[in-house]
Amino acid sequence: MGQRMTTAHIPGSGNNLDQWYGHYAARTAGLAASEVRALFAVASRPEVVSLAGGMPFVSALPKELISGAIERVMATRGAVALQYGSGQGMPALREQILEVMALEGIRAGVDDLVVTTGSQHALELVTKLFINPGDVVLAEGPSYVTAITVFKSFQADIKHVAMDEFGLIPEALRESITQIKAAGKTIKFLYTVPTFSNPTGITLTWERRLEVLEICRSNGILVLEDNPYGLLYFEGQPPHAMRSVEEDGVVYLGTFSKTLAPGFRVGWALAPHAIREKLILANEAAVLSPSSFTQHVISEYLDSADWKGQIETFRGVYRERRDAMLAALGDYLPDLSWTTPAGGFYVWVTLPDNIDAKSMLPRAVKELVAYTPGTAFYADGSGRNKLRLAFCYPTPDFIREGIRRLSTVINGERELLNTFSQTTALPVMRPETSMSNPPANLG
């Protein structure tokens, strides 16, 4: 017998333990574990306060609502629910999704919808349909970390468009389009999370939504509107979805992961007719059909439960946790700046310019607190003095303790830099003096 190969020699790159290394497609170079996912193994330890992952607090969902829906599905249509389904998704659920989207001003037909295995799958399908290697995707800077991973996996050239406290900046979008076109590159779509953005929590104003749509319309650029958090508002209802005023130029992505539970893995895409037809074919090619069982369970839940009341319950849970995080930041880190989200899951924090959130993370984990460094949300490595804090999962008491631990880490980092730096020393803020200095917020 021949000797089994355990390593592969790749010219110019040394030995690689993967014997198939040289066989992979070029696009796999864009596949890498995100900084968010890499945190989960450590952050899931019970002694660590994780402010890193955007996990919904599913314990606020009464178990009997789901168990009852499952029992009724199995009792009345179990054989159908356990069978293959349509590549477009079951018609009854698509009808109900229309009711959900109507809350954000969207009017559409049931045939315009494609059910997917979570909205992440819809994002991947749209990218597969449109992106050739080297094509440009415009994306907010910062942008959703896994969207960046998807775009890179199809070898897209990601160009970030700047944001401020009112969302994506229209003039920055115009300038980016002009520069990219002058370079002879093709822009395929603009990717945006306009409502309670991940990672910043910022909401694009209504006036800017209209302006961004007009800019994209006049330049022949599709808008990919990702909206996981739109119904999770805390004070007042946010602006209607961009899709509510633009049908032909917007593909809208929705999900039940944040308003019900992520374990069902049910999302959807609302798309213009021609794109929708290709999405169905791509969906069938990828998964044959989205899960019939989970679609039937969600449909039964929407038909029998007070789902709007349950969303209101989630709003209350997340509002309390948002308030706890903002209060703790004001008490322990008052000289920093951060966003004040009116909904969603996240707060975006700005550190002093000379502190690197990514290099600081191991010290934070040692102090039993975790966050996501800002570099995860930029394709070009920007955001080193930024970090995202998620308030959705920990209890208010744990959030406060997590921010206290984080303040210890940040102040320790500042003391270290002050000791070894030749520049002017940075002030180290102590919790006992923090209440006299109100926080500087961005949004």
What was the pLDDT predicted at 117? 95
What was the pLDDT predicted at 434? 34
What was the pLDDT predicted at 42? 64
> Which pTM was predicted?
0.88
CATH 3.40.720.10 fits domain 69-304: no
CATH annotation of 29-60+309-418? 3.90.1150.10
Q: Which residues of 175-184 are buried (b: 16+ CB within 10 A; e: fewer)?
A: ebbeebeeee
Q: Which residues of 94-116 are buried (b: 16+ CB within 10 A; e: fewer)?
A: bebbbebbeebebebeeebbbbb
Q: What are phi and psi of 318, to 5 degrees?
A: -75, -30
Contacts with 315 (C-beta within 8 Å, 6 or more apart), sequence order? 232, 233, 234, 343
Q: How far apart are CA 194 and CA 211, in angstroms?
A: 13
Q: Are 14 and 22 in contact (CB under 8 A)?
A: no
What was the pLDDT predicted at 35? 59
What was the pLDDT predicted at 39? 60
Q: How far apart are CA 260 and CA 151, in angstroms?
A: 27
What was the pLDDT predicted at 103? 97
Domain residues of the chain, as ranges? 29-60+309-418, 69-304
Q: How far apart are CA 315 and CA 334, in angstroms?
A: 26
Q: Are 163 and 119 in contact (CB under 8 A)?
A: no
What was the pLDDT predicted at 420? 75
Q: What average pLDDT values come out for the chain (443 residues) when binned by 10 residues?
A: 44 64 78 61 77 92 93 94 94 98 97 96 97 97 96 96 97 98 97 98 98 98 98 96 97 97 96 96 94 96 96 97 98 97 98 94 94 96 96 97 97 86 52 34 33
What was the pLDDT predicted at 7? 43
Q: How far apart are CA 399 and CA 405, in angstroms?
A: 10
Cα 301 off chain centre by: 25
